Amino acid sequence: MSNVVKIDKWNPDLAVIAGAASILRDGGLVAFPTETVYGLGADGLGADAVKKIFAAKGRPRDNPLILHVCDKQETARLAKRDQRALDLMDKFWPGPLTLVLPLLENSCVPKEVTAGLSTVAIRMPDHPVALALIEATGHPLAAPSANRSGRPSPTDAWAVDFDLGEGVSMVLDAGSVDIGLESTVIDLTGEEVLLLRPGGLPAEKLEAFLGSPLKTPGADASKRSPGTRYRHYAPDLDVRIWDKKDALGALCVTPSESGFIGLTKPPVPFRRIIVFDSVQSYARGVFASFRDMESDDGCRCVIAEWPEPEGIGLALRDRIRRAASV
């Protein structure tokens, strides 16, 4: 953990931030906390720096990255913004909402960030360390979640170090994140607002603000959001979904080799049992629980209770479903 540096979330040491920003300006990689999950940052306007992200994560080149900004005005030189986009920024930024917008002509965003699409995804994270780092770097930061591609997203610095180790120059460690699932991604390039990825900002809040339901992309989903094509969020365990209506026995697992996570205390003596007191804490803890059970050699399987698809539950369902699919 030699490259992991502790930093106070509410009072970040500016000398540490300046050191991290200088690594980024020199084209290096720095992992940093956000309110959703830890990100693996590079100078978002530097093509060579951005390429290092794909190498460190083993990420497919056709999966575009989110640019992280520290103020709304910075988006003006990156993307075309209509009134709807500006209103959403005013209402929900900083926060767990990513906007997919049309790129400006002659844009300064390298094609490595957008994977050659004519759109760019942008968000302003709600975390003092992230905001200070972006500001000190002076450029937007391209940052995917700081895990090896396909693995659960990291919700603390330990998980970043476990997955990426020396592949990242510095990991800023501000403790565990608040939300635990990635941002909500919406597409604003057409008349209708499309929900590309449910996430930390509940769809209901967006719908109440917009005054209309979000649409989900149809058959061209993977073209619009290439990330949805790949297996994701999966620990090195067999992940099974338990819908409370069904008998646990129907899952045919060996309790002594299986862990359980969810909101209901199971009537079976599983090897490990983690019961959360709310859907928010389930969301915050799901990826760390996967990693915790994965590190137990005797644990082969994890059963995840299927949450209701409301609020953060919709995003939690999405992550559990993807982790379970082979």
First vs last Cα of the chain: how many Å apart? 32
Kindly tell me which residue out of 30, 69, 117, 188 binds ligand TXA, with binding defined by CB under 6 A. 117
Residues 171-190: x where in contact with ligand TXA by CB under 6 A, - otherwise, as a string: -----------xx-x-----
Choose between 37 and 316: whose C-beta lies nearer to ligand TXA.
37
DSSP code at position 64: -
Residues in contact with Mg ion by CB under 5 A are 145
Question: Which residue of this chain has its Cβ atom nearest to ligand TXA in the complex?
Answer: 227
**3-class DSSP assignment, residue 106:** coil
Choose between 160 and 253: whose C-beta lies nearer to ligand TXA.
160
Question: Is 144 one of the binding residues for ligand TXA (CB under 6 A)?
Answer: yes
Kindly tell me which residue out of 196, 214, 314, 315 binds ligand TXA, with binding defined by CB under 6 A. 196
Measured distance CA(86)–CA(168) in Å, rounded: 34
Residues 225-244: x where in contact with ligand TXA by CB under 6 A, - otherwise, as a string: xxx-----------------
CA distances from 81 to 77, 102, 118, 133, 173 (A): 10, 8, 14, 25, 34
Sheet of 272-275: strands edge to edge? 238-242, 301-305, 258-262, 272-275
Among 62-70, 215-223, 277-285, 313-321, the segment contacting ligand TXA (CB under 6 A)? 62-70
Measured distance CA(288)–CA(306) in Å, rounded: 17
Partner in contact with 137, chosen from Mg ion, ligand TXA, none, beta carbon below 5 to 8 Å by kind: none
Q: Which pair of structure tokens corresponds to residue 308?
A: 């209701």
Question: Is 137 one of the binding residues for ligand TXA (CB under 6 A)?
Answer: no
Among 83-91, 111-119, 307-315, 317-325, the segment contacting ligand TXA (CB under 6 A)? 111-119
> Which one, of 287, 288, 278, 289, lies nearest residue 312 by Cα?
278
> Which one, of 177, 162, 157, 145, lies nearest residue 283 by Cα?
177
Residue whose tokens read 């084209």: 27
Question: Is 49 one of the binding residues for ligand TXA (CB under 6 A)?
Answer: no
Q: Which pair of structure tokens corresponds to residue 274?
A: 């983690």
Among 14-22, 42-50, 113-121, 299-307, the segment contacting ligand TXA (CB under 6 A)? 113-121
User: Which residues would be at the binding site for ligand TXA (CB under 6 A)?
Assistant: 34, 36-37, 39, 63-66, 98, 100, 114, 117, 119-121, 125, 143-145, 182-183, 185, 196-197, 224-227
